[in-house]
């Protein structure tokens, strides 16, 4: 693919949305990837940035071979790696799957800044940022370096996950980033043999957290083996089964997110560099 954009950075990006969670293991990256594809299915130009410097999963989830690296132009600008129609960037493209990032916080923050500012993102309606879990350096770096349009909090109905989801919401409030909504993963398990439905991780937690903080429950997704299997294959479920019921759930979440962005009257983000 030939990139026609000559200026690196976020000047052409209309909205930047952080997909975050208070803890790991709640399906945040899976949500980020499928949400990006669902937004694309709504006719938007979408990019996705893997901000998890220590545990990048985007290359595997998008089916990008470990040998693929982004093209470098003008000496220091990265061309995003195309995947399923998305423009993607990850520290995983610059290392191998077996290479640990043994870096202190400032080094990780610097890597994130480089991927944001030295990437030829071009014209995008939405840049989805897959955040690392927690409320640490990367979250603060992103909040300081760019104007975020908002954040989407991913949780499961588990009480312990909901506690950490609340911490994530509080963090974004402290840095004045609007929380656009909550996505509840693993909300319901349906037995593949008998069809029995059971809320094995609890129920209603995502709606409760959203209500407590004056935001909305964007959607609830089932605990379904296909979501994990297709992600492992590098063909996310929205791409693999675009007409399926799970893709429809992600599509509904995407449309609600688009409406939330419009309601927040978000302007195009600008970079604010701080020493």
Helix (H) / strand (E) element for 105: namely helix 105-117
Q: What is the rounded CA–CA span in Å between residue 136 and residue 149?
A: 19
In a domain, 274, yes or no: no
Q: What is the pLDDT of residue 267?
A: 41
Q: What is the pLDDT of residue 64?
A: 94
Please, what is the average pLDDT of the chain?
86
Tell me the per-residue pLDDT of 15-63, one tens digit each, with 9 for 90 and over: 999 999 877 888 899 999 999 999 999 999 999 999 988 888 999 999 9
DSSP 9: B
**What CATH number is given to the structural domain containing 100?**
3.40.50.300
In a domain, 203, yes or no: yes
Higher pLDDT, 86 or 228: 86
Ramachandran category for residue 9: left, alpha or beta (phi over 0 → left; psi -120 to 50 → alpha): left
Q: What is the rounded CA–CA span in Å between residue 203 and residue 192?
A: 20
Q: What is the rounded CA–CA span in Å between residue 104 and residue 22?
A: 20
Q: What is the pLDDT of residue 224?
A: 87
In a domain, 224, yes or no: yes
In a domain, 221, yes or no: yes
Opening angle at CA 88, ends 156 and 146, nearest 5: 75
**Residues in the chain, overall count:** 275
| CA neighbor of 32 nearest in space, from 47, 12, 53 | 47
Q: Reduced to 3 states, what is the DSSP secondary structure of residue 205?
A: helix
Helices 159-174 and 205-212: crossing angle, nearest 10°? 30
In a domain, 269, yes or no: no
Whole-number Cα distances in Å, 150 to 53, 104, 157, 220, 243:
21, 27, 22, 19, 28
In a domain, 17, yes or no: yes
Domain count, the chain: 1
Tell me the per-residue pLDDT of 119-168, one tens digit each, with 9 for 90 and over: 999 999 999 999 988 767 888 888 888 899 999 999 988 888 888 899 99
Q: Reduced to 3 states, what is the DSSP secondary structure of residue 103?
A: coil
Q: Reduced to 3 states, what is the DSSP secondary structure of residue 155?
A: strand
Tell me the per-residue pLDDT of 163-211, one tens digit each, with 9 for 90 and over: 889 999 999 999 899 999 999 998 877 777 777 777 767 677 889 999 9
Q: What is the rounded CA–CA span in Å between residue 116 and residue 131?
A: 13
| CA neighbor of 218 nearest in space, from 208, 210, 226, 230 | 210
Opening angle at CA 12, ends 29 and 70, nearest 5: 55
In a domain, 4, yes or no: no
Range of the domain at 30: 13-263
Tell me the per-residue pLDDT of 224-247, one tens digit each, with 9 for 90 and over: 889 999 999 999 999 999 999 999
Whole-number Cα distances in Å, 157 to 132, 166, 188, 200:
20, 12, 9, 9
In a domain, 74, yes or no: yes
């Amino acid at each position: 693919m030939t990139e026609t954009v000559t200026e690196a950075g976020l000047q052409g990006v209309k909205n930047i949305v952080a997909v975050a969670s208070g803890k790991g293991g709640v399906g945040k990256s899976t949500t980020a990837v499928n949400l990006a594809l669902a937004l694309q299915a709504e006719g938007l130009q979408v990019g996705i940035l893997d901000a998890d410097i220590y545990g990048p999963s985007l290359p595997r989830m998008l089916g990008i071979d470990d040998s693929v690296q982004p093209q470098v132009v003008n000496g220091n600008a990265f061309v995003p790696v195309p995947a399923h129609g998305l423009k993607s960037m990850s520290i995983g493209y610059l290392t191998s799957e077996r290479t640990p990032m043994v870096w202190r916080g400032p080094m990780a923050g610097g890597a994130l800044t480089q991927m944001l500012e030295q990437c030829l993102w071009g014209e995008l309606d939405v840049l989805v940022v897959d955040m690392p879990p927690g409320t640490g350096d990367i979250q603060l770096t992103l909040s300081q370096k760019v104007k975020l349009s908002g954040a989407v909090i991913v949780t499961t109905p588990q009480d312990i996950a909901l506690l950490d989801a609340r911490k994530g919401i509080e963090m974004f409030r402290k840095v004045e980033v609007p929380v656009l909504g909550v996505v509840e993963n693993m909300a319901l398990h349906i037995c593949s043999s008998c069809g029995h439905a059971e809320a094995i991780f609890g129920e209603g937690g995502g709606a409760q957290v959203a209500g407590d903080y004056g935001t909305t429950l964007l959607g609830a997704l089932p605990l379904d083996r296909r979501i994990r299997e297709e992600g492992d294959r590098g063909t996310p479920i929205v791409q693999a089964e675009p007409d399926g019921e799970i893709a429809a759930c992600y599509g509904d979440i995407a449309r609600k997110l688009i409406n939330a962005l419009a309601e927040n009257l978000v302007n195009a983000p600008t970079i604010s560099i701080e020493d």
